[in-house]
Amino acid sequence: MANIITRKSVMTLFSSPTCAMSHCARFVLQEKAVTADIEYYDPTDPPEDLLELNPNGTSPTLIERDLVLYDSRIIMEYLDERFPHPPLHQMDPVSRANARMLIKRVDQDWYPLLDDILSSSDKKASRFRRILRESILSTTPIFAARPYFMSDEFSLMDCAIAPLLWRLPSLGIDVSTPNDVITNYAQRIFKRPAFKRSLSDAEKEMTELLK
């Protein structure tokens, strides 16, 4: 219990070292340059400190004083509002709503396929890899239209997409095109100092793109 009492005065993010959704939250945390403890753990064996605050032991879980959040997108939104500079959401309501809809679409269309690839047999995983690759490639015009995803400025949408793109090479998924639009976008995001700091040791070993 002493650890929990101490934790009330410190922001702590409990995170799996390999979970893409947890990586999204860590990316925002680093973009905001927030002082916080990041505690990596095995989601199959959550620490007692975490279970006392979040009985499900899910990753990520953010704790700040009496606040306990355990949904990646809610954590990202909270951090952006709690630490408004630099802003990662557009300022006007219409743009914010559109960004939320796009992130929801990514969560519905891409992240389930990532989970399917990681949890399936080779034959099924091969099919899911093909579907995910084709789905990402179908958005090439969107990646080409602006410097960042659907925006001229870096935003939460990029924080939501980059951790997935980072994992593609280790999954055997090649999204390169003749004009390298998606690859160039990914490299631009991966070179951000905050993205580099957001990587766990396990994630650093996933790909050779960060050089």
DSSP string covering 19-50: -HHHHHHHHHHHHTT---EEEE--TTS--HHH
- Looking at the fold, whether 186 and 109 belong to one and the same domain comes out as yes
**Is residue 48 in a domain?**
yes
Mean pLDDT, residues 77-102 taken together:
90
Cα–Cα distance between 165 and 136 in angstroms, integer? 9
Opening angle at CA 192, ends 188 and 194, nearest 5: 150
pLDDT band of 211, cuts 50, 70, 90:
very low
* Number of Cβ within a 10 Å radius of residue 155: 23
Instruction: Supply the pLDDT for residue 74.
Output: 96
- Looking at the fold, whether 11 and 45 belong to one and the same domain comes out as yes
pTM of the predicted protein model: 0.91
Buried/exposed code over 43-79 (b: 16+ C-beta within 10 A; e: otherwise)? beebeebbeebbeebbbbbbbbeeeebbebbebbbbb
DSSP assignments along 163-188, one per residue: HHHHHTGGGT-----TT-HHHHHHHH
- Looking at the fold, whether 106 and 150 belong to one and the same domain comes out as yes
**Is residue 198 in a domain?**
no
Please state, for a pLDDT cut of 90, what percent of the chain lies above it.
78
- Looking at the fold, whether 147 and 71 belong to one and the same domain comes out as no
**Structural domain range at position 42:** 2-82
Cα–Cα distance between 152 and 60 in angstroms, integer? 29
**Is residue 204 in a domain?**
no
| Helices assigned H by DSSP within 46-180 | 48-53, 72-82, 93-109, 111-119, 122-137, 140-145, 156-167
Q: Enumerate the active-site residues.
A: 19
8 Å CB contact between 198 and 18: no
Instruction: Supply the pLDDT for residue 137.
Output: 96
Give the chain's domain count.
2
Please state, for a pLDDT cut of 70, what percent of the chain lies above it.
94
- Looking at the fold, whether 36 and 114 belong to one and the same domain comes out as no
pLDDT tens, position by position, 151-197:
899 999 999 999 999 999 999 999 998 889 999 999 999 999 999 99
Instruction: Supply the pLDDT for residue 4.
Output: 52
Kindly report the CATH number assigned to the domain that includes residue 176.
Answer: 1.20.1050.10
Instruction: Supply the pLDDT for residue 6.
Output: 53
The residue with tokens 């605050």 is 53
**Is residue 199 in a domain?**
no
Q: What is the mean pLDDT of the chain?
A: 91
- Looking at the fold, whether 75 and 116 belong to one and the same domain comes out as no
Q: Please, what is the end-to-end C-alpha distance for the chain in angstroms? A: 43
- Looking at the fold, whether 126 and 159 belong to one and the same domain comes out as yes
- Looking at the fold, whether 59 and 150 belong to one and the same domain comes out as no
Instruction: Supply the pLDDT for residue 7.
Output: 54
pLDDT band of 2, cuts 50, 70, 90:
very low
Between the alpha carbon of residue 64 and those of residues 12, 51, 70, 73, 136, the distances in Å are 7, 15, 12, 16, 36
Kindly report the CATH number assigned to the domain that includes residue 60.
Answer: 3.40.30.10
8 Å CB contact between 31 and 55: no
Instruction: Supply the pLDDT for residue 149.
Output: 92
Mean pLDDT, residues 132-157 taken together:
94
CA dihedral 144, 87, 165, 125 (to 10 degrees): -120
Boundary (domain end) residue, out of 82, 108, 127? 82
- Looking at the fold, whether 76 and 142 belong to one and the same domain comes out as no
- Looking at the fold, whether 118 and 72 belong to one and the same domain comes out as no
- Looking at the fold, whether 19 and 77 belong to one and the same domain comes out as yes
Of 76 and 95, the one with more pLDDT: 76
- Looking at the fold, whether 105 and 159 belong to one and the same domain comes out as yes
**Is residue 207 in a domain?**
no
Cα–Cα distance between 150 and 155 in angstroms, integer? 9
**Is residue 209 in a domain?**
no
Tokens of 191: 């070179």
